[in-house]
C-alpha cells in the first residue's frame, strides 16, 4: 500500500539523487576545465647577466615568487618550467633539451597537462613583472567561453602577439611537440597558421625585463605594485 508518507519519502529520495547527480556532473565539468599553470623560467638570462628569476620585484619578492603567487590565484596546480632550482616551492617540468627556447618548455608543459587530464596549460614568463593575477583570471574567463581554442595575449598598442602569455589546450600537445623538435621553433609563426583568439593587454602589462637597463632605469615607469591595475 502506498501512503502519502511513502510518496513523500520517495520524492525526497529522488530529489536527493538528482542533487547528487547534478553535483557530480558539475564536479566532472569543472575537472574537465582545470588548467595547469606553468611559470616559464628556463632561459639563460644572458642579456641580464644574472638569473632574472632572482631579480627583486617592487613588492619585495623575487620575480619568481611574484610569478608563482599570481599563478596560484588561477590554479592550485602550478609548475615551473626549465631546470631544477634548489629550494623551489613548486614542482618543475624539466626541459627535455636545455636552452632551446620557450617552445621546448611549453611543449613539455602541455604534454604534462594532457597526460594528467588537464583541459589545458596556462603559461606565463618569469620576466613580466607587471602581469598580475587579475590579468590571468580574466584570461581564464575568456578561455572558458571556448576552451578548445588557443587564446594568446597581444599588446594592444602595437598588435604584437605574446605567446608566453597564453592558454594552450591539451589537444595541441602533439603539434607543439613537433614544433619543439623542429629547427624553426618560433611560436608567433606557429600561431599565425592556426585559429586563435586574442586577449589584449597594454604594452606596460606585457613588458619583458631583459637587461640591467630595463631593471635599473624603468622601475617607476614600467613596474607596478603587484595585483594593481
Query: Binding site for GTP: what residues are annotated?
Result: 40-42, 95, 127
Query: How buried is residue 43: exposed, middle or buried, by Cβ count under 10 Å (0-12/13-18/19+)?
Result: buried
Element (H, E) at 165: strand 161-169
Alpha helices (H) in 73-206, listed in sequence order: 102-115, 133-144, 173-180, 187-192
Cα separation of 18 and 41, whole Å? 46
| Residue 175: CB atoms within 10 Å | 15
If DSSP codes are grouped into helix, strand and coil, which group holds residue 38?
Answer: strand
Residues belonging to the binding site are: 40-42, 95, 127
Cα separation of 194 and 186, whole Å? 13
Query: How buried is residue 68: exposed, middle or buried, by Cβ count under 10 Å (0-12/13-18/19+)?
Result: buried
Helices then strands (H, E): number in the chain? 7, 7
Residues belonging to the binding site for Mg(2+) are: 127
Rounded to 5°, the CA angle 124-192-129 comes to 20
| Residue 194: CB atoms within 10 Å | 10
Amino acid at each position: 500500500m502506498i501512503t502519502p508518507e511513502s510518496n513523500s519519502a520517495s520524492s525526497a529520495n529522488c530529489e536527493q539523487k538528482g542533487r547528487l547527480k547534478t553535483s557530480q556532473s558539475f564536479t566532472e565539468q569543472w575537472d574537465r576545465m582545470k588548467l595547469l599553470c606553468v611559470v616559464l623560467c628556463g632561459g639563460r638570462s644572458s642579456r641580464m647577466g644574472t638569473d632574472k628569476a632572482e631579480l627583486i620585484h617592487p613588492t619585495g619578492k623575487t620575480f619568481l615568487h611574484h610569478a608563482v603567487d599570481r599563478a596560484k590565484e588561477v590554479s592550485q596546480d602550478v609548475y615551473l618550467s626549465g631546470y631544477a632550482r634548489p629550494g623551489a616551492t613548486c614542482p618543475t617540468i624539466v626541459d627535455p633539451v636545455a636552452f632551446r627556447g620557450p617552445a621546448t618548455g611549453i611543449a613539455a608543459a602541455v604534454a604534462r597537462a594532457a597526460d594528467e587530464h588537464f583541459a589545458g596549460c596556462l603559461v606565463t614568463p618569469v620576466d613580466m613583472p607587471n602581469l598580475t593575477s587579475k590579468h590571468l583570471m580574466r584570461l581564464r574567463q575568456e578561455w572558458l567561453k571556448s576552451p578548445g581554442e588557443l587564446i594568446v595575449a597581444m599588446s594592444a598598442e602595437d598588435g604584437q602577439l605574446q605567446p608566453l602569455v597564453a592558454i594552450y589546450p591539451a589537444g595541441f600537445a602533439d603539434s607543439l611537440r613537433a614544433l619543439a623538435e623542429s629547427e624553426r621553433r618560433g611560436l608567433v609563426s606557429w600561431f599565425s597558421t592556426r585559429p586563435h583568439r586574442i586577449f589584449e593587454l597594454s604594452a606596460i602589462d606585457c613588458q619583458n625585463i631583459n637587461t640591467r637597463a630595463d631593471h635599473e632605469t624603468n622601475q617607476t615607469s614600467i613596474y607596478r605594485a603587484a595585483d594593481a591595475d
